[in-house]
Structure 1
């Protein structure tokens, strides 16, 4: 079993090894054949946008499979880092709740000039420091395919308001999946996306910012922790519509609810699997935990 560690629990050498592996994905040629892809890293961005595209009725947000699909997506990310870039270390996550509670949302060294870089500059919100300074994206914004910079536009007050322990505890007061995932999805998940701003605020193309994966590892950990509190009732608890009801008319056959048999797909970047296979992070298909 591998253990995913908070960024501050990695040594400087380990942090650099991880960032080197991310850079490797950015430098490796695309393989997916998806629109506007130029690198293996952009394959991941294009996958997320494709699943969010209205042609697919947004089947990964505001749906019961939101958390299972993103857990599968994090598994794809980890697999590419390991199998195609030779990464052997821990996959890191960002403790957003701790930083929000401190009032200094951006205190983690992950935002440093030797890591992911900080906020965007006043000129176009482009990130000009860090390992991904002046990185050019080709997928997005939204459904467009244009060249643009990696952008961030921090809103500290609102990020803190959406990510603090009071909010997380409120969500965790729900003991069944349906109200719990709605709370997590709409407040700490969506709020941090929105208030990092820039690329992260673009629901379709947000994985163009490498911080996306730090954020979603954290969200996955919040789910993992919630499951661990009552594994008998929570480990395989799943519910919610399979289509984003706010973006679609009700299908002729009525709304369908997510079940353990629902198939998770990735445009053949990785073999399809089912929700059942990703519910238990130590169930065989997956084999990891968090510190």
Structure 2
């Protein structure tokens, strides 16, 4: 059974095994397919014309990303069956552990995911395990993807003009888990009051999930945000927080809507743009999916 751990608590040799497996997936093209699927999910409105899409601003936000995380984890384990599982980055601890400055974390070092791009032309990340990576960019006019002309992921930690300088903390995560016992509610979008919308970041103060994307900036701002492998560590933590909420309030029956909501977001609906078809309800209990968090 895969055991998902905080990456900053793992031995460095285990971190290296994980990042090496990611590099194998990047080299054979498997990884870029995950980036394409995420972008295509963001480009598929539910319904047409709505800001809600297959995987965001609606109830399926958490199930869709859980399914995608599981698919990546399985791909990684195919490369290296000795991996413990997909790690998570416990981002809500970063300010408290680093003097109020998350960018001081050893997470942003060559041993883990590489640094900020602050010292380089174009804010490129030129150290760490992903220094040679070439991002793929979505061409909105044609719907195609092309490689960026220069290697190096883009990060602007806390300093992107389109982002934010603030960072979520443990009290805000606790608030989401303790004070939002309803999973979601009509109109099932970014205005809804419920745990999903609180954790996704559209309701209730701190942006949580959204805020982390905005703070990292660069490649994490776009629909092709999986270009940066930090995406998976971030979303694995989001999934861990959801599981802690589920363990408190109930697993399957707490999901809403069961029916009558937007297409693709009801419990029995099939989620689009995954490697394999899955219903929303098939990913509600991680115990049946074969992994756990520590």
Would the TM-score normalized by the shorter structure come out above 0.5? yes
Select which of 37, 40, 44 maps to 2:30. 40
Structure 2 CA distance for aligned equivalents of residues 68 and 40 of structure 1: 22
8 Å Cα contact 2:256/2:266 also seen in 1: yes
Q: Partner residue of 1:167? A: 172
Structure 2 CA distance for aligned equivalents of residues 257 and 22 of structure 1: 29
Shift of 1:180: 0.7
8 Å Cα contact 1:21/1:86 also seen in 2: no
Structure 1 CA distance for aligned equivalents of residues 41 and 282 of structure 2: 20
- 1:213 has 2:232 as partner: yes
- Normalising to structure 2: TM-score of the pair? 0.81
Q: Partner residue of 2:253? A: 236
Residues 96-136 of structure 1: CA deviation (Å, up to 9, x unaligned): 11113332313443321122101113521111111111421
- Normalising to structure 1: TM-score of the pair? 0.82
Q: Find the residue that maps to 1:175 and give its secondary structure.
A: coil
Structure 1 CA distance for aligned equivalents of residues 164 and 258 of structure 2: 28
8 Å Cα contact 1:113/1:130 also seen in 2: yes
Residues 30-64 of structure 1: CA deviation (Å, up to 9, x unaligned): xxxxxxxxx11101100101111146752110011
- 1:25 has 2:22 as partner: no
Select which of 171, 176, 182 maps to 1:176. 182
Select which of 67, 73, 85 maps to 2:68. 73
Uncovered stretches (5+) of structure 1, i.e. residues with no partner: 29-38, 243-252
Shift of 1:241: 11
Q: Find the residue that maps to 2:36 and give its secondary structure.
A: helix
8 Å Cα contact 1:25/1:40 also seen in 2: yes
Uncovered stretches (5+) of structure 2, i.e. residues with no partner: 185-193, 202-206
Select which of 273, 277, 281 maps to 2:278. 273
Structure 2 CA distance for aligned equivalents of residues 215 and 111 of structure 1: 13
Shift of 1:85: 4.8
Structure 1 CA distance for aligned equivalents of residues 254 and 265 of structure 2: 10
Q: Find the residue that maps to 1:117 and give its secondary structure.
A: coil
Select which of 187, 190, 208 maps to 1:188. 208
- 1:116 has 2:113 as partner: yes
